[in-house]
Amino acid sequence: MSSPPWLVTLSASFRAHRQGRQGWHLQVHRDRLRITSRELPPRPGEDATSTRARSLTLKAPPGPATITAALAEACDVFDRVMAGTWTWPGPDDARPEGTTDPASPASLERLISSLRDQLVGERMTEGTWQRTWQPYLSALVAAAAEAPGEPTPAMLARLLRRWPPGTRARQMAHDRCRALWRHAGWPWPEAVAAMRGNGKAAADPAGARAMTDAEITTLRERIEASRQLTPGDLLAWDLIVVFGLRPVELQGLELREEDGILVAVVTRNKVTSKGSSGARTVPAVPPAGWPADCHGLLERWHRHGLPPGLLRHRSPGQSLTQQLGRLHMPEGLSSYAPRHAFAIRLAEVGLNYREAATLMGHSPATHVAIYGRRLDQPGLLAKAGRLARERSLTH
């Protein structure tokens, strides 16, 4: 496993201080930062003729927020060893007061600030950080402050138990904390990893809530009758319906006709820990009963365009979901409901799950995880009914 960037930087700075002297190494071991060298003197009571490498655990915790302190400590040890004045610390001075655990509130606060600087502006907006990261990391700092000196795995387990098992909230808390640990270069406790769950308990047993064709028709009628919404707003909803877009993919969207087929070119990438979704081209697959031109979709695209405010919004999906509320659409519908309907429509026209996943910008595994229950249910019901009838005929 490659070393984290902060450890590479720290090691390079330490090597420069040693002016090329070899045999000294900095490494992370069991959530601690340590220095290893054959030139460290024997411990009290150890064979003075032994030439094996020895390791000293540093007082500074590992991570990018403590590079300066760790470098100063490592350089001080090296200089005193070279001068012959360094001795092994005794039991009373192995650690300074207040640093009994690397995951102390103060060190966590520094790490969170460092992680925020790395993510905000590059991977997310400030608003996304405040909504989906900061609350969980603040809870982590509070948990660390509640029981100073508590072992890190026990503290993390206590934190995650604040949310019911299998819930999305617990998964997010786990993933945010693990991202912070990865940023610091600390190993993640295996016992805590098992507490994340696989998300099935949080999933709707009926599958993703999709917007029905009748609800899509009602939505279009209410938008056209609204005095507040514009033809551009109707265009935005129709694009999501016809191409199964994520709302944020309206940003940077291109619409054109290729070989008589209306297609949307999605240029907005979705970046996750598993990689980037990349650009994709999606053909129009409208609900049953729609005209071939999807209510003049291409003409309206050139005439009206999308609302500038929606394109500038930090979360177009949130804005569109609020529109559903103002239009008094049924509860439980979100701006993703037409996208869920699109996934079901792709199955109805005969695409397999791999083909559908490609058009929707999913991995096959993600597509099955989201829509598998809904797509499998009709087939399961039919198969179960057939088998039951065959069984009854044999008796």
What residue ranges do the domains of the chain occupy? Answer: 5-83, 105-202, 213-341
Name 3's Cβ contacts closer than 8 Å, sequence gap at least 6: 11, 185
From the list 366, 394, 236, 374, the residue with the least C-alpha distance to 311 is 236
Burial tier of 83 (Cβ tally within 10 Å: 0-12, 13-18, 19+):
exposed
Question: With contact defined as beta carbons under 8 Å apart, do 323 and 309 qualify?
Answer: no
pTM above 0.75, yes or no: no
Question: How confident is the model at residue 20, as a pLDDT?
Answer: 81
- For residues 14 and 1, what is the distance between their CA atoms, to the nearest angstrom? 21
Least Cα distance to 324 among 196, 219, 229 occurs for 219
> E-assigned strands of the chain?
24-29, 32-37, 54-57, 254-258, 261-266, 271-272, 275-276, 280-283
* Tokens found for residue 206: 């009926």
User: Which CATH code fits 213-341?
Assistant: 1.10.443.10
Whole-number pLDDT of residue 97: 41
Cα(127)–Cα(379) distance, integer angstroms: 43
Q: Is 331 exposed, middle or buried (0-12, 13-18, 19+ CB in 10 A)?
A: exposed
What confidence score (pLDDT) does residue 330 get?
Answer: 93
- Nearest by Cα to 219 from 319, 330, 115, 124: 330
Tens of pLDDT along the chain (395 residues)? 578 888 999 999 999 999 889 999 999 887 788 999 999 988 877 777 777 888 988 888 888 888 888 888 899 899 989 988 888 875 444 444 434 455 788 889 988 998 898 888 878 888 889 999 999 999 999 999 998 878 888 899 999 999 888 788 888 999 999 999 888 777 788 888 888 876 554 445 556 789 999 999 999 999 999 999 999 999 999 999 999 999 999 999 999 999 889 999 999 876 554 445 568 999 999 999 999 999 999 999 999 999 999 998 878 998 999 999 999 999 889 999 999 999 999 988 988 888 999 999 988 887 877 777 666 655 555 556 677 777 766 65
